Chains A and B, each alone.
Chain A
Amino acid sequence: MVQSLIFALKQKMATDPIDFPDLPAGSRGLPRLTQQLCQGLACGDCQAACPTSAIQLDESDGRCGVSIDLGKCIGCGACIAVCPSGTIESNPSTKTATLTREALVIRQGESPSDSRQVVGGSLARSIDIREISTGCNATDQEVAAITNPVFDCSRFGIHFVASPRFADALVVTGPVGRAMQDPLIRTYKSMPEPRIVIAAGTCAISGGLHAGGYAEANGVLPHVPVNVFVPGCPPHPWSILHGILLAMGSTRAHP
């Protein structure tokens, strides 16, 4: 007991001193588009390299027209590595969550759509969350990580609860294969209204690598409505916190 106390007192503060720090230098974040024009369809290297068909190319209105659906992107960096014109680069930001599915599709020359709309209202200071895991456990681990002393979600009023009956919000990870569809719907229905659903990770948003198979693992949207989308495979714990703070309508989530 005494030994533990002495040990605890000797520890320096673990918590990140600033909110939403950028990813460390040299990290691979989600892709973003620069102002560098590209060959578009004439090149097509990025589209061919993408393992989840997240990249679309079209040249309709005079622009080179590359668009990336971050809701399908697994952040593998293959497109960045092959792009000859420097059009695609890694985005170091951890503020990546959005309030609509459409806002995850990024196009060159367009600024990301504004997401100041408030979801939570009365939840701005405190939110109780139930987590449902349906995937490969990467995003689960990053959700669990926000409770550790480094991210320390409880200082934002974020708590995880054991039952959906106590929950304001549901964080769903994984692509929701056939056997988790019914448990997801039943958990959602067990929650008191208003029910907020946060789809965390690319699998939860679109099925990611698993979409379109016999397991019907196509994400959360076919089963329950989603309020917040957190892309990434897995998303960084700060990105998951961003998604939850957006759901709370917290001012800390905004630029």
Chain B
Amino acid sequence: MIGVEVSVVSLDEWVPTISARIRRKGWRYGHLTCRRDEEGKRRLEILLLNLTTSTSEVISAAIPSGQADIPSITPTVPAAHWAERAVGDLWGIRADGHPAFSSVILNEAWPTDVIPFHRAADGIPAIRNTHLLSAHGSGIHEIPVGPVHAGIIEPGHFRFTCIGEVILNLEIRHGFQHRGIENRLATTPWRLGRFLAESASSDETVANGLAHAVALERLSETRVPDRANSIRTISLEIERIANHIGDLGGLSADVGFAIGAATFARLRGVALGLGQTLAGSRFQRGLICPGGLAWDIEDTRLTDLGRSLAELTHRIHEACELFFTNPGINERYQGIGILPLASVEELGIVGPSARCAGSHYDARRHFDHALYPGFVTNIQPQTTGDCYARAIIRRDEIMDSLDILSEVLKNVPKTSVLAEMPDDLAPNGIGIGIVESWRGELIHWITTGPTGTISRYVIRDPSFQNWIGISLAGRNNLIADFPLINKSFSLSYAGSDL
């Protein structure tokens, strides 16, 4: 179980307290945000995670009304830099001392007087800054890309500053899909919220549904039946397999390796079919609900699943053999888009994008969700941190997940699948759900008010943490290699924009 300890500090003690506490052994940065307490006062809060004890801590500081700036933690905890910018957009609060404070969610399409969580009593909000860093000089030019891209992908704007063919700097401008999901989740009765939570980023439907459920289960101290936990594991790993296969297909398509693209696209369909067999929907929507599963899965469906799995495993091995022995693939992907371990650790990069550079962090080893952390995964990190390593790590994770699936399918307990949840959650409580989605550590962080209703709902998608990784990995690479670098990270725009 994740216990959450809350320390209240003053805004003056904010930076020194966090600086001291994050340096303790075994701790890492989770997320930073702002919420409004029952008296209407804004509170700046940071979530720190302890990997050794699987616990977490929230440090909370009240922001006096009338004040529109806070001391920035980014110079000491660089991982918080996007989060502070998001607080700026959504709350109208400026982080003083932030090295590059500009908008990250509400871009220039939003009128400056729209500040979703700001209230008149908070005083005059900080002015939103939508500045993009640019460079000038002989031979330097800019390339704007998006929000409407040439392919079938999500909208985002990339501004490249290049010298000739080489990327000097990349500024990422997001927020085109901002739908106000956090606000909606805090105003919807929790029993109706799960579909919305799933749609935060639908390629992570299961992970989002699971993190949502885990956070609510913490708040109501509900114990999920064993059968539900087994099926949740199966569901989460099917999602991981399907998306990693899809990415290997994308990596094939982006270098014109048509046979690889077609094969992986077809296999991704087979993996989505496993989801369909399990949950009746290719994206497994609606299966996971707080307390367990929305419906039971007949044993015959699990048997069918096991049968399709053997066939799929064989075909994936074949396709990966074709991909990784292809000289064109090796030549194009090796040595480009390098993100070194030092940057990974400093910026709190998560998931395969971190494990390709030598990081061991995998939320499945530390935090309670589905059968984890009791269930072992055997992924060995890569060390080179380049695009090729990100492809290799995807292959290894597919194989590992296939092993997990066949292991779990051997013995799915025959219990009920749903534990009764109370209508009211624990008052003034904090529920944290941490799930290793296929993109990495996904956090749902729920705070309840005095009556046990949700007062603040925060989602930290792995992409939100990792976008800066693309920016850095792209530097000093050829502009023509950028699509490959982008695909090798394969981040969600929707999950970051919310």
Q: Which residues from 133 to 183 on chain B have a C-beta closer than 8 Å to any C-beta of chain A? A: 147-148, 150-155, 175-181, 183
Verify A137–B281 contact, CB threshold 8 A.
no
**What is the CB-to-nearest-CB distance from A129 to chain B, in angstroms, rounded to a whole number?**
9
Q: Does B283 contact A (CB under 8 A)?
A: yes
With A8-B259, A76-B195 in contact, is A214–B180 under 8 Å at CB?
yes
Q: How many residues of B contact A (CB 8 A)?
A: 59
Verify A233–B177 contact, CB threshold 8 A.
no
A177: B residues at CB distance < 8 A: 176-180
Q: Does B277 contact A (CB under 8 A)?
A: yes
**What is the CB-to-nearest-CB distance from A47 to chain B, in angstroms, rounded to a whole number?**
13
A180: B residues at CB distance < 8 A: 109, 147, 155, 176-177
Q: How many residues of A contact B (CB 8 A)?
A: 59
Per the bound structure, the CA–CA distance linking A164 and B184 in Å amounts to 33
Which segment of B64-72, B197-205, B333-341, B446-454 sits at the interface?
B197-205
Q: Does A162 contact B (CB under 8 A)?
A: yes
Q: Does A210 contact B (CB under 8 A)?
A: yes
Q: Which residues from 391 to 425 on chain B have a C-beta closer than 8 Å to any C-beta of chain A? A: none
With A27-B276, A183-B148 in contact, is A135–B184 under 8 Å at CB?
no
**What is the CB-to-nearest-CB distance from B21 to chain A, in angstroms, rounded to a whole number?**
35
**What is the CB-to-nearest-CB distance from A78 to chain B, in angstroms, rounded to a whole number?**
8
Q: Does A143 contact B (CB under 8 A)?
A: yes
Verify B177–A234 contact, CB threshold 8 A.
no
A78: B residues at CB distance < 8 A: 286
Per the bound structure, the CA–CA distance linking A176 and B325 in Å amounts to 43
Per the bound structure, the CA–CA distance linking A51 and B276 in Å amounts to 22
Q: Does A14 contact B (CB under 8 A)?
A: yes
**What is the CB-to-nearest-CB distance from A206 to chain B, in angstroms, rounded to a whole number?**
14
Verify A138–B283 contact, CB threshold 8 A.
yes
Q: Which of A131, A143, A213 contacts B184 (CB 8 A)?
A: A213
Q: Which residues from 152 to 207 on chain A have a C-beta closer than 8 Å to any C-beta of chain B? A: 160, 162-164, 174-175, 177-183, 187
B325: A residues at CB distance < 8 A: 3
Q: Does A26 contact B (CB under 8 A)?
A: yes
Q: Does B332 contact A (CB under 8 A)?
A: no
With A136-B494, A210-B179 in contact, is A131–B263 under 8 Å at CB?
no
**What is the CB-to-nearest-CB distance from A167 to chain B, in angstroms, rounded to a whole number?**
11
Verify A183–B150 contact, CB threshold 8 A.
no
Verify B179–A137 contact, CB threshold 8 A.
no
Per the bound structure, the CA–CA distance linking A4 and B263 in Å amounts to 11
**What is the CB-to-nearest-CB distance from A48 to chain B, in angstroms, rounded to a whole number?**
10
Per the bound structure, the CA–CA distance linking A14 and B283 in Å amounts to 21
Verify B180–A213 contact, CB threshold 8 A.
yes
Q: Which residues from 219 to 244 on chain A have a C-beta closer than 8 Å to any C-beta of chain B? A: 233-234, 236
Q: Does A148 contact B (CB under 8 A)?
A: yes
Q: Does B98 contact A (CB under 8 A)?
A: no
Per the bound structure, the CA–CA distance linking A24 and B494 in Å amounts to 29
Q: Does B375 contact A (CB under 8 A)?
A: no
**What is the CB-to-nearest-CB distance from A154 to chain B, in angstroms, rounded to a whole number?**
12
Q: Which of A51, A135, A144, A234 contacts B152 (CB 8 A)?
A: A144
Verify A214–B152 contact, CB threshold 8 A.
no
Question: In chain A, what residue has the closest Cβ to B108?
Answer: A179
A183: B residues at CB distance < 8 A: 147-148, 155, 176
B205: A residues at CB distance < 8 A: 138
B154: A residues at CB distance < 8 A: 133, 137, 140
**What is the CB-to-nearest-CB distance from A72 to chain B, in angstroms, rounded to a whole number?**
12
Question: In chain B, what residue has the closest Cβ to A28?
Answer: B280
**What is the CB-to-nearest-CB distance from A144 to chain B, in angstroms, rounded to a whole number?**
4
Q: Does B107 contact A (CB under 8 A)?
A: yes
Verify B259–A179 contact, CB threshold 8 A.
no
Q: Does B492 contact A (CB under 8 A)?
A: yes
Verify A51–B195 contact, CB threshold 8 A.
yes
User: Which residues of A line the B interface, CB within 8 A?
Assistant: 3-4, 7-8, 11, 14, 24, 26-28, 51, 74-78, 81, 130-138, 140-145, 147-150, 160, 162-164, 174-175, 177-183, 187, 209-210, 213-215, 217, 233-234, 236
Contacts A134-B177, A179-B107 supplied; 20 other A-B pairs, CB < 8 Å: A4-B322, A27-B281, A28-B281, A74-B195, A76-B286, A133-B154, A136-B177, A140-B153, A142-B282, A145-B269, A148-B265, A148-B266, A150-B266, A163-B150, A179-B109, A180-B109, A210-B184, A213-B183, A214-B116, A236-B282
Which 4 A/B pairs are nearest by Cβ-Cβ distance?
A138-B202, A162-B150, A148-B265, A179-B109
